[in-house]
Structure 1
Amino acid sequence: MKLDILSLVGSNNKFNVEGKLVVVAGGSKGLGKAMALELAAKGANLLMLARSADTLRIARQEVQAACISSKQIVDAIAVDLARPEEVHRVLHRYHPPDILICTAGGTPDQVGFLADISPQAITSCMELNYYTTIFIVQSCLRLWLKAPQTPSPRHIVLTSSTAAFLGLPGYGAYTPAKVAIRALADTLRQELFLYGKDAFRVHCSFPGTFMSTSFLEEQENKPGLLKALEGTDHTRLELEQRVPSPRTVAQSIIRGLEVGKEYIAVDFQTELLLNNMRGPSPRFWAVWDFLLGVVAAVVFWWFRRGSDRRTMREGQSRRVRDSRV
């Protein structure tokens, strides 16, 4: 399948970024920075947005070093992406971008069982993962609708998660936010046909776990049950060997964009989950995707039964421990 993808890219790249302005929301670290680095090496001009000015400054230097031409522009502006008025102000400094990539998110402080986390953690998780996406999408769309249509489509690339398809105990705040991103992609995809068949393309990627500062911080707060169910109950050294880097994930997403995928699963497990729950969401290889959905319906029925049993055993153990206190 990878060979087919590579041959398709070579003959007809549907995500050519050379000379185009790409806004990366959440571009100071992790997946956002990795996407910026990859796109800089393909000739894109980058506007990187995130909250931390210091982290952005370092990331900008790295991205500038990855550029292939002295004519490329790399800028970075500190902005709270959860505040629409700030997003509006920053975007109006430039001409309308050609591509918007939304990667802001994470859950370093909001993991935990619902009975144990605070209402503030739930609110902040939604702000960090959903508001940081929908407000900049809205601002970009309003800019685009006032500007002349470009010869090639403008792209919106959203970032959801494998968690959007797999509810695990401990992700009660995070999973609904990532499901909202997937729902936004579905809604936008059809809504934007209002403005012409070829004016816009909406994409949504579904990365699983990847190595980042946020992931390591999250590991400190995860319940043991959650680590066991998602397969992250390992030492840091073991995780570094097992978990892909942000660059690896970014490269996979960009390959999917270049062949024209609208929904992009980064690994095979997520591909199965996506096709098990695809519904009316767009497909790429229709027959292959359908067959994967059939396989996934069986595989994840067994997985769910096993995870349910494991959760019940954990609950029984906790009740026994509590009764002894």
Structure 2
Amino acid sequence: MGFLNRGNKFEIDGRTVLLTGGSYGMGRSIAALLSARGAHLILVARDPQKLHSALAFAKSHAKNPSTQRFHYISADVTSESENTRLLAEAVAWNNGRVPEIVWTNAGSASPMLYIESSIETLRKQMDLNYWGAAYLAHKTLKQWLYPETPYTHDAKPEAPRHFVVTSSVVAFTGLAGYATYGPAKTALRALCDALQHEVLLYNGARRSGKKSATAPAPFDVKIHTIYPGTIKSPGLEQENLTKHPVTHLLEESDPAQTEMEAALSAVRGLERGNYMTPTNWLGELMRLGCLGGSPKDNLVKDMLGQWLASIVWLFVRPDLEGKVWGWGKKEGMPDFKPQTK
């Protein structure tokens, strides 16, 4: 937080990044950008074939091709045991060290009318979009802060560790058609707000004059959240198969980014040291309107922007609600199309 953010707050040259959801979409582009900045990469996804292709793409962008290392792990992040396994494999590959940057980017949306969705879909959306990140956060933070081989009080200070979570702009406001997906992304925002607050306990312990029985980690831990909007990707094509016409209506004027544009916005936000990084201007407006008790990245901008956004939302929300109400009035009762599987 502060009035000005100067310098790169997300130095990754020569450091190891574990990235879930790195095989396609925005994740594939994030991997290329991290590679171009000199990071050693571990990509995680379910499909080995897509992982192999994404890793080759990332390697082609390497800043230091002769020294950078690349690895992929096929895993299902919705499983707690799989998160344990993938982190253990990552540590082993990384010469016994937990990766310095862990980015949980895995996720997918199944937008549709809520009562037409199956309970199975609701659970799957929460499992992938919330638990896939929550499991890895729990295990990573524990290993960073309380490793099997304890730290010593005279350990040499190290650069910060970064835990990054990709949420979504739907975490800022509920929209018709996203009740299947939005709650998981909103839960991620709440989790990260709490974690950002909680890690201050351990960061503060580093600076304590009192030597506790357990030595603190010799580095600070930083939490970051990314909030993409509409991204032109295979994932969007899949979403549109189940998306209700009224949701298309609500999104028709939204700015759409390429995978690389969204990835570049995310990485640049991290380099500025931001806690919350929407990837386009509409997401930034939504962020400003919903900050509440969330950490502020720039006190002046965020305070003034929140005031302005609250005025803008006086007009935007009624417009969104009017479109949904108007669709119902014009088209009548929607045909009920429940999921069959």
| TM-score between the two structures when normalised by the length of structure 1 | 0.89
Match runs of 1:161-180 below 5 Å:
161-180=168-187
Match of 1:23 in 2: 18
Match runs of 1:98-177 below 5 Å:
98-107=100-109, 110-147=110-147, 148=151, 151-177=158-184
Contact 2:108 2:235 in 1 (8 A): yes
| TM-score between the two structures when normalised by the length of structure 2 | 0.85
Match of 2:235 in 1: 214
Q: Does 1:265 align with 2:272?
A: no
Match of 1:68 in 2: 63
Q: Unmatched 5+ residue regions in structure 1?
A: 234-241
Work out which of the residue numbers 282, 289, 295 in structure 1 matches 2:302.
Answer: 289
Contact 1:51 1:79 in 2 (8 A): yes
> RMSD across aligned C-alpha pairs, in angstroms?
1.8
In terms of mean alpha carbon deviation, does 313-322 or 248-257 score higher? 313-322
Deviation for aligned residue 1:320: 6.3
Q: Does 1:204 align with 2:206?
A: no
Q: Unmatched 5+ residue regions in structure 2?
A: 92-96, 205-218, 336-341
Deviation for aligned residue 1:225: 0.6
Deviation for aligned residue 1:160: 1.1
Deviation for aligned residue 1:65: 1.5
Deviation for aligned residue 1:321: 7.9
Query: Within 2, Cα distance between the matches of 1:321 and 1:263?
Result: 37
Query: Within 2, Cα distance between the matches of 1:187 and 1:201?
Result: 12
Deviation for aligned residue 1:318: 3.9
Query: Within 2, Cα distance between the matches of 1:259 and 1:32?
Result: 20
Give per-residue Cα distances to partners, 1:113-155, cap 9 Å, x unaligned.
1111111111111112111101111111122123447611100
Match runs of 1:175-194 below 5 Å:
175-194=182-201
Deviation for aligned residue 1:243: 2.2
Amino acid at match of 1:138: H
Contact 2:229 2:256 in 1 (8 A): no
Work out which of the residue numbers 245, 267, 282 in structure 2 matches 1:224.
Answer: 245
Query: Within 2, Cα distance between the matches of 1:74 and 1:118?
Result: 39
Aligned residues: 304
Contact 1:31 1:249 in 2 (8 A): yes
Contact 2:13 2:37 in 1 (8 A): yes
Contact 1:272 1:295 in 2 (8 A): no
Amino acid at match of 1:144: W
User: Which protein is richer in helix relative to its size?
Assistant: 1
Give per-residue Cα distances to partners, 1:19-72, cap 9 Å, x unaligned.
101000111111111111100001000011111111111111111121122111
Contact 2:249 2:323 in 1 (8 A): no
State the percentage of identical aligned residues.
Answer: 31
Match runs of 1:307-318 below 5 Å:
307-318=320-331
Match of 1:82 in 2: 78
Deviation for aligned residue 1:200: 0.3
Query: Within 2, Cα distance between the matches of 1:181 and 1:76?
Result: 25
Match of 2:312 in 1: 299
Match of 2:40 in 1: 45
Are the structure 2 counterparts of residues 321 and 54 from structure 1 closer, same or farther at C-alpha, using a change threshold of 3 Å? closer
